[in-house]
Amino acid sequence: MKKKPNIFLASSSPRRQAMFRFFNLDFKPLKVSFDETFLSSVPESICLEICQKKMSASHDLLGEEVEKSIVVVADTLVFLNEQILGKPKDKDEAFKMLRLLSGKQHSVITAVGYSNYGEIEFFHEKTLVKFVELSSEMIENYLDRNDYHDKAGSYAIQSDHNFFVEKIVGSYTNVVGFPMESFLQKCKGISI
């Protein structure tokens, strides 16, 4: 019987790790440091560019272990038109982001890369999310009850206090931070 490969998830996101555990994907978390600047101005390309850098840093860190492993990387960003809404620096910035998203449709794009014994594939998933109109009081209530610091766009769709998503078109798990359905479909031929 062939031994299952090591799966390395290059992500410190508790949500991504929880999804991998839920789907019984036995993984080792991998912490990588890399330059997150980008040259592209197209939303999907920005996510892919960051993801490619993360994969390169993961391969550098793992060295020869890459040849016996599966490495998974991902990067999720929120876009309102072409404007990136990343992780807020503080509560004021989180408030401004949620105010911008109020009553509007935005895109959540996640780029995913996976390295199967050194051979690399990338893809991205785009989900459209529409918010109801948010009053200042609603935004304050949400921010007082939720950790927004490590969330692109300052919100978590899976939060107990998120009642402002009016509509979603596409993958729910993508908005959480990892398009698991697409990943599992693309990895059907891989022994994970």
Residue 109 Cα distances to 85, 96, 136, 145, angstroms: 11, 20, 27, 25
| Burial grade of 33 (CB within 10 A; 0-12, 13-18, 19 or more) | exposed
Which among 26, 35, 60, 75 is annotated as catalytic? 75
Residue 75 annotated among the catalytic residues of the structure: yes
C-alpha 141/C-alpha 87 separation (Å) is: 19
Token look-up 């996976």 returns: 114
Catalytic residues, by residue number, are 75
